[in-house]
Amino acid sequence: MRRRETLTAGAVTATMAAAAPAAAAPGGGRGPKKPPGNGHSTPPGLAKKDTLAFAAGDTLKIGCAVAGGGHHTEADYPDPFTSDQPYREVLAREFTSLSAENQMKWDYLRPAAATYDFTDADAIMDFAEAHGQVVRGHTLMWHNQNPTWLEEGDFAPAQLRDLLQEHIATVVGRYAGRMQQWDVVNEILDDDAALRTTGNIWLRELGPGIIADCFRWAHEADPDALLFFNDYNVDGLNPKSDAYYTLIQDLLAEGVPVHGFSTQGHLSTRYGFPSDLAENLQRFADLGLQTAITELDVRMDLPEDGEPTPEMLEKQAEYYRRVTEAALSVKGCSSLTLWGVLDKYSWVPGTFPGEGAATVLWDDFSRKPAYYAVQDALAEASGRAGHPALAR
Ligand code: XIL
């Protein structure tokens, strides 16, 4: 394992020093603790060139989900994006792309049928622009995180169709020209690779033709944004990714403006690595599509004391490295997004009991082997090895 602990004080800019967490206790916070003596003592102030963003260069956009909403609303900490300044500094410094973890979902944007609340979505857009980052919009049509007034409302199909069309026109239109990619439809297939014709309100009430309409409406509202299908468990070649492959070919043949296919990449070291990831993305690229990895995290089964062993961390790093290398190897895979960067804000512990430690940083902002794995894979592809003071 390589270490970089030779960072000189001179390499630490005033801004970076200001980003240091006020009272960073190693392994503090809610996530698993950092195992003692594992050598991860990177100082909190980081040199500008010692970042994922620098290592990526122009190879691909390296992104992160912006924590807020969703499971965070029940957590005992304040809204991360608007109140955690050191975390904001990390988002600004390490990444070239941002995704709204929850702030652009229906339940967040639509407190009532007649109202929109764009406060936090706008703040993410402004933050990204202030830091020269692109944004991935997430998401316009989904079976989850819809407001109660919608799911339990008494709407006729024609009304639902109008609501969806108006939503897409309004939301996509608001950020037209400023959004790099939109996850237009999210998770429309279930675990048996069948369309979610009961659980997804839009598919249930309006039929599968609504999928093409969503893409058409989004394209009308922002002809510059790249429009994606996004789902989980479609990392490798399997019946679910096969179903997307067929569906997208049909839509392209009909002239529907579909531009991309993305796999979320919620991985667990419990399962084998999807070694055909690159091959899978490549077949979509061969259709002329962009591809992306949009929600990468690699969780693990935590030991009883909650602290991953060095071996577990190395295995996780290997997964992160292989995903990064796969993304870099596919032409037209232009975006790799991590679904969070600190365990204390990750959705994993609440969603997968007993699993955790899924992100690349410890809660005190020091780096796991997984961070270096991503950084090294990016640097290898870009030729940007980093600051001379950090040479190994
Ligand atoms: C998750 C968020 O991370 C949580 O905060 C929220 O409580 C639930 O949703 N697939 C997706 C994401 O497309 O929107 C999900 O995000 C994770 C799975």
| Ligand 1 mean position, distance from CA 341 (Å) | 14
Nearest-CA residue for atom 3 of ligand 1: 347
Q: What is the pTM of this model?
A: 0.89
148 C-beta neighbours (distance < 10 Å), count: 8
- Asked whether 102 lines ligand 1 (CB < 6 A), one says yes
CA of 376 to the centre of ligand 1 (A): 28
Which residues are tagged catalytic?
A: 187, 295
Position 44 scores a pLDDT of 53
User: From the alpha carbon of 71, which atom of ligand 1 is closest?
Assistant: 7
Over residues 336-389, the pLDDT tens digits come to 999 999 999 999 999 999 999 999 999 999 999 999 999 999 999 999 976 555
Q: Name the residue ranges covered by the structural domains of the chain.
A: 52-387
C-alpha 271 to ligand 1 mean position (Å): 20
Residue with tokens 């997004």, as numbered in its chain:
337
As a whole number of Å, the CA-based R_g of the chain is 21
Atom of ligand 1 nearest to the CA of 339: 3
Interval between CA 74 and ligand 1 midpoint (Å): 14
Q: Two tokens at 198? A: 């009961």
Ligand 1 pocket member 264 (CB < 6 A) = yes
Closest atom of ligand 1 to CA, residue 67: 5
Q: What is the pLDDT tens value at each position of the chain, 392 positions in all?
A: 333 332 332 332 333 333 333 333 333 344 455 554 444 444 555 467 899 999 999 999 999 999 999 999 999 999 999 999 999 999 999 999 999 999 999 999 999 999 999 999 999 999 999 999 999 999 999 999 999 999 999 999 999 999 999 999 999 999 999 999 999 999 999 999 999 999 999 999 999 999 999 999 999 999 999 999 999 999 999 999 999 999 999 999 999 999 999 999 999 999 999 999 999 999 999 999 999 999 999 999 999 999 999 999 999 999 999 999 999 999 999 999 999 999 999 999 999 999 999 999 999 999 999 999 999 999 999 999 765 555 44
Query: How many angstroms separate the alpha carbon of residue 47 from the centre of ligand 1?
Result: 32
Pocket test for ligand 1, best of 73, 102, 108, 190 (most atoms within 8 A of CB): 102
Predicted local distance difference test score (pLDDT) of residue 385: 79
Q: Whose CA is nearest to atom 12 of ligand 1?
A: 101
Tell me the CA–centroid distance for residue 228 and ligand 1, in Å: 17
Whether residue 101 has its Cβ less than 6 Å from ligand 1: yes
Please work out whether the CB of residue 95 comes within 6 Å of at least one atom of ligand 1: no
Which CA distances in Å does 65 have to 105, 178, 254, 313, 368? 13, 17, 33, 22, 18
Asked: is 52-387 a CATH 3.20.20.80 domain? The reply is: yes
Q: How far apart are CA 369 and CA 31, in angstroms?
A: 16
Between strands 290-301 and 355-356, the pairing is: antiparallel
Distance in angstroms (rounded) separating the CA atoms of residues 244 and 229: 8
Ligand 1 site-directed mutation target among 235, 339, 343, 348, most atoms within 8 Å of CB: 339
Considering only CA atoms, which residue is closest to atom 16 of ligand 1? 101
Q: Supply the pLDDT for residue 38.
A: 42
Closest ligand 1 atom, residue 69 Cα: 5
Q: Which atom of ligand 1 is nearest to the CA of 266?
A: 18
- Spatial CA neighbour of 252 closest among 276, 227, 235: 227
